[in-house]
Amino acid sequence: MDDSASDAAPFAHIIRKIEKLIKRYLEGELAIEHVVQGVRSIATQEMDNRRQAVDLASKRILSVLLRIGLNKNTANHLIDLSITLAREPDLCSGSLPVLLLCDVFDSLPLNESEEFFSLVEDKVSIWKEDLFFKCCKNQLLRTCNDLLRRLSRSQNTVFCGKILVFLAKLFPLSERSGLNIASEFNAENITLFSSEDYKGISDEASYHDESESTSCVPVDYNLYRKFWSLQEYFRQPLLCYTKVHWRQFTSLLELELSDSNFRRYVLVQFLILFQYLQSTVRFKLETHILTDEQSSWVKNTLTQVYKLLEETPPDGAGFATRIKHILQREESWNAWKNEGCPDFKEARPMEQAREVRPKRKLGDEVKAAMASKRVVLGDTEMNRLWNLCPDNWEACSSPKRDFVPSLEKFFDMAMDQGDPVAGAKSRAKSIYKSNSGWRALRLLSQKSPHFFTSSNQPIKSLPLYLESMVMRLAKEFPINTQNAAPSQAADEKPDMADYGDSEDELLKNHEDSRDRETGTLSSAGGAAECGSNEPKDKLSKDELVALAGALGADWKKLAPLLSFGEDEILYIASEHEGDAVKQAYQALLVWLEQEPEHATHSNLLQLAARAGLK
């Protein structure tokens, strides 16, 4: 006895602490994060005790609010708090938000329940989450069904529609609880009509007299009774399989009613009934099958009903077409239920049937490859690459893989700049660039015998040494006579180095040529122009467009003279494939950006002449 009292006291204390936190949150004193932290900080021996305490405290708070008058805004805050607590592990049960809503709808009248139902509608995306859907779907379905039972479908049509729409949004289309798997009928839809002949007084006669002028169909009690008794068969189509009642209505289909809209409704009911009688329903009994005579009669009558619908105004033909389409959709729905209501999946695009080619045996493939001396690796691209050159050593020693330029090609520009008539300034020469100097030394060590000749006088700097080597190479590779300027006198000849010249003489001759070059520049432009490194006839981007159009596909002949490698030429050609003008423009633009001091009209004309272009 004492142990139970000691256990109950802490549990009651925990409930009171949680109630205080919830009240302070509803009054706006605490944020929802502080409530979660406060509940998590409560120490309990077991996690279930804390969940039970939070559930019980929330229900007690809701009970107090219902007694004093529940506000919709307050109820929304309480539901949001319960949802947040349910998302946290081991703080409350996952069904707490829906249980609170069930208590609200059970305690409020119908007019207030409709107002509070928006709390359920607005959170449909939350209820569809895996955390809540598994534990809350049954409570939500039970609550909605209880509300539908309390509501009148004729007076509370809007509220009933809201509930049904919510259920349609909440549950998937394949939810079995809303599919009527057993094909049960709504037997509660009973149509009441008078079963006794009514004998009126003279008012009936006067009414009869007034209606004779407008009604062309005589209406008596027998027609009235037989017509409205059809509703019993529309309500329960299984009665049609009773032979006693089947034949007494064959003549009713030939009757015409004066009201076109009412006649249209009755004809649609016949279509629904006939479709059920002809359909294959999974839960039909074996005895509920039409005979051949009955099936023939139903088909003929069905044709007559559609014909009557087409003749019934307004827009009879359009109405009949729409009804036929709806009933066809109903057949698809019935077939889906007969198959056990499989889940709907997005249809995959139809794959084109591939031609099945006969596979050759692996041994035959190997024999054929060996006979043709081909390498077969099983992949088309790998086969192509390996068969470009089956011999690896031959492929490595291919001339196409020799990317080291020749001495003539590498020092061609340096020899042009060494010409005093060319007018290149010493600091603008390529041999004064550190990258070019390093590459020149490596190339000379590999391909020039002058690199290993002994020197009596040490070289002070690398550019001076390279200038001397260029002057020696100029003897072996004479500069094209077309490189000379048009204004050069016939008797003027550039100083060429001889093999017998010493390095001192070479340096002296070079200094003399540099002095002549400086004097020419001073007399032409003055000291101000001599300090500028930008050539006067430098190409502009607008001029490149015209030059690219003139070159066209011949740009590839000029590209090697513009210091483009084979891989760079292939890259530019692939980047603008099919457009030779764009390729030429791209090559000229790259040359202009990489070597702006050499991108001049005169240099381009000289290079074009060397490439054999006019």
124 vs 535 pLDDT, higher one: 124
Residue 53 lies in a domain: yes
Cα dist. 223→214, 252, 257, 539, 610 in Å?
A: 18, 9, 11, 106, 114
> Can you give the residue range of the structural domain that contains 373?
365-401
pLDDT at 366: 74
Predicted confidence band of residue 533 (pLDDT cuts 50, 70, 90): low
310 in any annotated domain: yes
pLDDT at 179: 66
Question: What is the structure's pLDDT at 346?
Answer: 65
Is residue 605 a part of any domain in this protein?
A: yes
pLDDT at position 310, please? 92
pLDDT at 535: 59
With cut-offs at 50, 70 and 90, classify the pLDDT of residue 501: very low
190 within a domain of the structure (yes/no): no
The pLDDT value recorded for residue 75 is 92
Instruction: Please check whether residues 38 and 55 belong to one and the same domain.
Output: yes
Domain identity same for 93 and 21: yes
Tell me: do 471 and 551 sit in the same domain.
Answer: no
Cα atoms found within 13 Å of the Cα of residue 53, Cβ hemisphere only: 28
Measure the CA–CA gap between 179 and 341, rounded to whole angstroms: 9
> Same domain, yes or no, for 150 and 32?
yes
- Cite the DSSP H helix spans in 279-389: 292-311, 316-338, 362-371, 380-387
pLDDT at position 519 over 80: no
Per-residue pLDDT averaged across 289-311, rounded?
Answer: 89
Task: Note the pLDDT of residue 482.
Answer: 43
Q: Are residues 330 and 459 in the same domain?
A: no
Residue 496 lies in a domain: yes
Q: Are residues 156 and 13 in the same domain?
A: yes
Does 169 lie in the same domain as 28?
Answer: yes
Query: pLDDT higher for 220 or 78?
Result: 78
**Mean pLDDT confidence for 229-256:** 59
One domain, residues 545 and 519: no
pLDDT of residue 455: 60
Residues 29 and 131 in one domain: yes
Rg (CA), the chain: 51
Average of per-residue pLDDT values in the chain:
74
pTM above 0.85, yes or no: no
pLDDT band at 4 (very low <50, low <70, confident <90, very high): very low
Q: How far apart are the first and last CA of the chain?
A: 118
pLDDT band at 596 (very low <50, low <70, confident <90, very high): confident
What is the CATH number for 550? 1.10.533.10
3-state class percentages of the chain: helix first, strand second, coil last, to nearest 5: 65, 0, 35
Give the pLDDT band (50/70/90) at residue 165. very high
Residues 126/83, Cβ–Cβ less than 8 Å: yes
- The total number of structural domains in the chain stands at 5
Which of the residue ranges 75-79, 239-243, 487-491, 523-527 has the most confident prediction, judged by mean pLDDT?
75-79
Q: What is the pLDDT of residues 284-293, one digit of tens each?
A: 777 788 888 8
pLDDT for 76 beyond 50: yes
What pLDDT was estimated at residue 256? 44
Tell me the mean pLDDT in the region 483-493. 41
Q: Is residue 209 part of a domain?
A: no
Per residue in 265-282, pLDDT (tens digit) is 888 988 988 888 888 887
Residue 425 lies in a domain: yes
Task: Indicate whether 343 belongs to any domain.
Answer: no
Per-residue pLDDT averaged across 152-177, rounded?
Answer: 86
pLDDT at 421: 45
Q: Are 378 and 445 members of one domain?
A: no
Q: What is the pLDDT of residue 206?
A: 42
Per-residue pLDDT band at 304 (split at 50, 70, 90): very high
Q: Where are the alpha helices (DSSP H) in 388-493?
A: 392-396, 407-410, 412-418, 434-447, 462-476
Identify whether residues 260 and 221 lie together within a single domain. yes
The answer on 274 and 229 residing in a single domain is yes
**Quick check: 388 pLDDT over 90?**
no
Mean pLDDT of the region 550-555: 81
pLDDT at 541 over 90: no
